[in-house]
Amino acid sequence: MKYDYGEEVLYNCSDDDGMATTIPCAIVGITPVETIEQAKAFGYPRGSILYTIEFGDGADKLVSENELTAS
């Protein structure tokens, strides 16, 4: 699924006990992985879409598209 700037989504992750959880966040950046150099730097294959997400506390994180769910 493709997301857009400002869209509210859920970040799928594990909590400190290893249990699956979701955290609400917003899309603040979109980075397509287009070159071999980018693929090496980010650790994702060419054609991947990475998103910078921002949490309610202002922290941010770069994640892959498959770690997100529409809210």
The tens digit of pLDDT for each residue in 17-70 reads 999 999 999 999 999 999 999 999 999 999 999 999 999 999 999 999 999 999
CA angle 27, 32, 34 (to 5 degrees): 175
pLDDT at 1 over 90: no
- The answer to whether the CB of 23 falls within 8 A of the CB of 13 is yes
Q: Which CATH class is domain 8-70?
A: mainly beta
